[in-house]
Amino acid sequence: MNRTVAVTTLGCKTNQYESAAMEERLIGAGYEILPFEEGAELVIVNTCTVTAATDRQSRNLIRRARRLNPAARIVVTGCYAQVAPDKLMNLPGVALVIGNAEKKEFLDLLQDVADTPRVKVSDIGRTREAVALPLSRFADRSRAFVQIQNGCDAFCSYCIIPHARGRSRSLAPDEALEQVRQLVEHGYPEIVLTGIHIGGYGADLSPATSLHELVARIEEETAVRRLRLGSIEPTEIPAALVARMAASQVVCPHFHIPLQSGDDEILKRMNRLYDTAFFRRTIMGIHSRMPEGAIGLDVIVGFPGETEEQFANTCRFVEELPATHLHVFPFSKRPGTPAALMPDQVAAAVIKERAARLRALGEEKNRAYAQRFIGRTLEVVVEGGGSVGSRKGLSRNYLQISFPGSEALIGKVVPVKVTALGDGGLEGSLA
């Protein structure tokens, strides 16, 4: 059996979480984890397939692994492996291709990594249960993740993920609570609930439950100090969840919500199940209950057929909303999605220019939001990284603050007084 292994990952937090879970199991099985560049005997590439560009990046990683160690056995998994296993199987050095559902048994599958490439990819659309890949340790000592859900039923016209991840399926509440308890016992001050479509949590369970009910149980039945939600759809934010967050000292006042466009016609062609009027009511409802809460929005620019006027509608809409930060994504065709075949594809140069304009607007909104907290003392979780003698911490409302401090503070919760807003963001000192 190979005893040195490198795990490299592309894509979303769910993929990153699953890679970390695989690494933990590999260590438990006696493998030595090496950095990718050191040419391990076994290389696991956890792929992404959101766009044609990420497919290409995945293939390039496989080729690089082969160049670093021509004798390496390469195992490919993740979303690209799920939707196009035959393409990957034919790449030199690939010994095994496994689907997303097979990640749960990857250690057993590694027992027979031979010279003849094999494919172990099932029909993920038939998978009806969420299989836990619990993690007890994270490289980041400040925050830990619990994957409460997988899959998506939405079928937005630009997205391949329902085909790569399958139907929405939820982890049993008791399993989620047990993972939270274990991570709290290991000293993590902040837990993040993550998944592909967490707003749909619990609808597939029997008896059915909801994200709000799970959050309530975590807050009431565990000793978690700080709980944060991952991305959640605007149509899946009940008033009860907003009210709980507004009143809680545990659940962070921070929403990450996909808008995708501020133009109704574009939203319709994206197959998004709301219009801008609904989205505005949702955001204003959150803001009225949590006026100092963070509201981050995802926006796609350059969707097929997007005119300059429709892009201007998006900019104007975002400007009018009390959003605190933006995640801007240039549209990129993903073969296999309806959007890839739509007419009037927007030129790459136009997409790049529009993305830059929208990011500039996002930076303005974020700096205006951060400015409001100068002179205030905020509780932050101290993160790793930073220069010698300097630390960074994340507040409950998703503000990152730099301040003087030692490495001994990493993973601690400390009060920091915000003193200034510099070019690099908020600055402060230990209160």
Instruction: Please give the Cα distance from 93 to 75 (Å, whole number).
Output: 9
Does some domain include residue 130?
A: no
Does some domain include residue 19?
A: yes
Tell me if 101 sits within 8 A of 20, measured CB to CB. Answer: no
Tokens of 66: 């082969």
More confident residue, 283 or 407: 283
Ordered alpha helix ranges (H), 249-399: 264-269, 276-289, 308-320, 348-371
Instruction: Please give the Cα distance from 215 to 109 (Å, whole number).
Output: 35
Does some domain include residue 134?
A: no
Handedness of CA 137, 143, 147, 151 (dihedral sign): negative
Residues 326 and 212 occupy one common structural domain: yes
Least confident of 10-24, 74-88, 114-128, 376-390: 114-128
Number of residues that make up the chain = 431
Q: Residue 69: what pLDDT?
A: 94
Residues 112 and 155 occupy one common structural domain: no
Q: Is the confidence at residue 354, as pLDDT, over 90?
A: yes
Other beta carbons within 10 angstroms of residue 73's beta carbon come to 21
Does some domain include residue 205?
A: yes
Q: Is the confidence at residue 115, as pLDDT, over 80?
A: no
Per-position DSSP letters for 245-289, written without gaps between them:
HHH-SSB-SEEEEEEE-S-HHHHHHTT-S--HHHHHHHHHHHHHH
Are β-strands 149-150 and 94-98 bridged in parallel, bridged antiparallel, or unpaired?
unpaired
Residues 185 and 221 occupy one common structural domain: yes
Average the pLDDT over 275-299 and give the result. 98
Q: Which residues contact 427 (CB under 8 A, 6 or more apart)?
A: 401, 402, 403, 418, 419, 420, 421
Residues 11 and 94 occupy one common structural domain: yes
Does some domain include residue 137?
A: no
**Residue 136 pLDDT class (50, 70, 90 cuts):** confident
Residues 26 and 46 occupy one common structural domain: yes
Domain-ending residue, one of 371, 399, 416 = 371
Does some domain include residue 131?
A: no
Q: Residue 355: what pLDDT?
A: 98
Element (H, E) at 169: strand 169-170
Residues 112 and 147 occupy one common structural domain: no
Domain-ending residue, one of 344, 371, 398 = 371
What CATH number does the domain containing 187 carry? 3.80.30.20
Q: Is the confidence at residue 114, as pLDDT, over 80?
A: no
* pLDDT digits 0-9 by tens, 201-254: 999 999 999 999 999 999 999 999 999 999 999 999 999 999 999 999 999 999
Q: What is the three-class DSSP state of 115? A: coil
Residues 319 and 254 occupy one common structural domain: yes
What CATH number does the domain containing 28 carry? 3.40.50.12160
Nearest Cα neighbor of 358 from 333, 322, 332, 327 is 327
Amino acid residing at 304: P
Instruction: Please give the Cα distance from 358 to 49 (Å, whole number).
Output: 25
Average the pLDDT over 249-272 and give the result. 98
More confident residue, 394 or 109: 394
Instruction: Please give the Cα distance from 412 to 190 (Å, whole number).
Output: 10
Q: Residue 156: what pLDDT?
A: 96
Distances (CA, A) of 62 to 66, 361, 413: 6, 37, 40
Residues 155 and 264 occupy one common structural domain: yes
Instruction: Please give the Cα distance from 26 to 34 (Å, whole number).
Output: 11
Domain count, the chain: 3
Q: Is the confidence at residue 109, as pLDDT, over 90?
A: no
Tokens of 27: 């260590």
Nearest Cα neighbor of 184 from 414, 411, 431 is 411
Residues 189 and 166 occupy one common structural domain: yes
pTM of the entire structure? Answer: 0.91
Domain-ending residue, one of 55, 88, 122 = 122
Q: How far apart are the first and last CA of the chain?
A: 53
Are β-strands 413-422 and 425-430 bridged in parallel, bridged antiparallel, or unpaired?
antiparallel
Tell me if 402 sits within 8 A of 425, measured CB to CB. Answer: yes
Residues 16 and 84 occupy one common structural domain: yes
Residues 396 and 295 occupy one common structural domain: no
Q: What's the whole-number average pLDDT of the chain?
A: 93
Q: What share of the chain is helix, strand, coil (3-state, %, to 5)?
A: 40, 25, 40
Q: Which domain holds residue 94?
A: 4-122
Q: Residue 266: what pLDDT?
A: 98
Q: Is the confidence at residue 1, as pLDDT, over 60?
A: no
Other beta carbons within 10 angstroms of residue 235's beta carbon come to 14
Does some domain include residue 362?
A: yes
**Residue 14 pLDDT class (50, 70, 90 cuts):** confident
Least confident of 109-118, 202-211, 296-305, 420-429: 109-118
Residues 1, 48, 176, 250, Cα dihedral to 10°: 130
Residue 46's φ and ψ, nearest 5 degrees, are: -95, 105
190-194, strands of its sheet edge to edge? 143-147, 190-194, 226-229
Residues 228 and 360 occupy one common structural domain: yes
Q: Which residues contact 354 (CB under 8 A, 6 or more apart)?
A: 301, 302, 311, 330
